[in-house]
Structure 1
Amino acid sequence: MNLDVIENIKKTKTLLLIIFSILIAGYIKFKSVYSIPIPVWSTKAFILFLEILVVVSIVDIIIILSFNYIKKNILYLKHKAEEAEELLNETKFLSEKLEKQTKFLKDKLNEITTLNKIIYEINQTFELERVLKIILESLCSYLNYDRAIIFLFDKEKNCLLPSIGFNIDKDKLYKINLSLYDKESVVVKNFVRNIPVIIKRLSDKEQKMPYFEDIKEENTLI
């Protein structure tokens, strides 16, 4: 449709030139064929003035009509451009929304896949250590954690004992014994408060623990 409007404007310009040429040629031909008698009270200069006035008036009318037509087409083009911009913005919005929905569905699919894997593996065995290992490995893979430990609470000794670890040396892991009376331990604090904690600074003692070795403090989640 926009191409049609542009083509119409070009045709209008061409038609305008043709009309002007015809008017000029017609005027010259009319002057050469017909001799208009000049009234006694008039002069040649006055007649020439009238002729020029008539020609200018006709030209003005043609120009006004032509430019009104061109203006109408330009406004139409502007309106179509605004509609195209709105459509582009709407398409961009829908694209971003679709991208978010796709990411959401992908995350949910990964979550379901992980849960299915856990359920399947658990159904294959009833050993607690094996079940905990499957759960821990699956969760670390899903959450993109580089290490993790599952502690079990020993009521008799009133301490936390490591049950299974991910990406932690086993020999070092089973030497860990965290008493609930150790108020400096961030793991004990986390267990008592029962809320996630992001570690900003580790003590020298904590840095020597197997689960904190060579780790960036600002990325530590308990």
Structure 2
Amino acid sequence: MEHSFTLVLVALGAVLGIWGFCFLRRKIGAVLYSARVLGKVLEQQADRLEETPKSVSGMTKVFLPQIQRDFPEFNWKEFQQKTENMVKSALRAIDARDEALLVDASEELRRQIGFKVAELKGSGQREYFRNITVHQTEIAHYQKEGGTCAILVQSAVGCLHYTENAAGELVSGSRERRVQTKYNTELVYIQDAALLQDGATAVGLTCPNCGAPVTRLGSKFCEYCGSGLREISVRVWSINKITEIL
């Protein structure tokens, strides 16, 4: 009787062991399957993010009429292209660690990129920007204060962006997967570069006849006395800063 009871316990234990093994195996299989599904979903999401441009603050329709009232000759398409070219030029200069590659850049922007290049050289790192694409560029803000005027332009940019150390090892980013990001570019109106004082980015205008301030940039006549306003010899929009929006 005791022997039979022992055999029953052994058989029951074996059955429970087999059941537990099968149950555990199913659970592990379910977990692994879920992990594979999650991995595939994350990979698909990363693929979508790789090709989906960031949305920009598109306020062009709001601010462009204001800018053109102040500057009737302002050509947005021309400055849109110039801004996109400058963003690409700045990233390529950082990639090559050579600020001399900047094309038609202001001294302030050259200093900004030069500082970044010096920082990379000091750390022994290389920051790469490859296959750069500018998807969209819009006016984000327009500010006029006295004789100073600034336009903030925002661009959606896609590229391969990664950093390597001195040994060529990957520090950040990916050599295979593109990233989508945004850059702010600041356009500043400089009326006469020769009149700028150290650290200034723009100067004010006054009427040569009555001395009244010219509150409307681009005006041809003084709004107080009606005298004609002489065009200053140097009048340009300068790209003074490019900043990534994280």
Do both share a fold (TM > 0.5)?
no
Going by fraction, where is helix more abundant, 1 or 2?
1
Kindly name which structure, 1 or 2, has the bigger radius of gyration based on alpha carbons.
Answer: 1
Return the structure number with greater relative CO, CA threshold 8 A, min gap 6.
2
